[in-house]
Amino acid sequence: MNQVKEFARELIALGSVNNMQVIIDYGNTLISYIDTFDVTNIRRAISEFPDLVKKLK
């Protein structure tokens, strides 16, 4: 879980630097799932990440 949380923190930082609220929100949501140990939503969020990246291109 620590690696996933670090990934989420890096996304929040990246979103902040690039003024991309959708990335900040994704990172915050992922951290929320981690903090509540919501494994189902952690997996769902991670699996949806590539689609989010495609939308941003």
Specify the residue for token string 């900040």.
Answer: 24
What is the C-alpha separation between 43 and 41, in angstroms, rounded? 5
Domain span holding position 10 = 2-56
Q: Give how many domains the chain has, as a whole number.
A: 1
Residues 5-57 have pLDDT tens digits of 999 999 999 999 999 999 999 999 999 999 999 999 999 999 999 999 999 98
Backbone dihedral region for residue 37 (phi beyond 0: left; psi -120 to 50: alpha; all else: beta): left
Which position has the higher pLDDT, 17 or 1? 17
